[in-house]
């Protein structure tokens, strides 16, 4: 049994889906990612976290 901590949810308690983009305006996850977060493995969560960084950078560059 692993004692490695699980990757925590990136939720920032600003929960509203942007219908056009299909992502939460707070954490930038898709509806599917939010729904299945507790079922994902750590590898799947890490991949999503990496993609969230890309999404965040894209959002920031779009507002510049």
Residues 8-46 pLDDT 10s: 999 999 999 999 989 999 999 999 999 999 999 999 999
Q: State which residues form the domain around 40.
A: 32-64
Classify residue 16: in a domain, yes or no: no
What lies within 8 Å, CB to CB, of 18 at 6+ separation is: 24, 25
How far apart are alpha carbons 1 and 34 in whole angstroms? 26
Classify residue 10: in a domain, yes or no: no
User: Residue 4: what pLDDT?
Assistant: 66
How far apart are alpha carbons 45 and 48 in whole angstroms? 5
pTM of the model: 0.83
Classify residue 64: in a domain, yes or no: yes
- The domain tally of the chain equals 1
Q: Is the dihedral of CA 17, 52, 59, 26 positive or negative?
A: positive
Classify residue 49: in a domain, yes or no: yes
Predicted confidence (pLDDT) at residue 49 exceeds the cutoff of 80: yes
């Amino acid at each position: 049994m692993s004692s490695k901590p699980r990757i925590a949810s990136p939720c920032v308690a600003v929960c509203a889906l942007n219908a056009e983009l299909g992502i939460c305006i707070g954490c930038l996850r898709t509806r599917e990612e939010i729904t299945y977060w507790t079922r994902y493995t750590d590898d799947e969560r890490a991949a999503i976290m990496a993609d969230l960084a890309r999404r965040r950078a894209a959002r920031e560059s779009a507002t510049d």
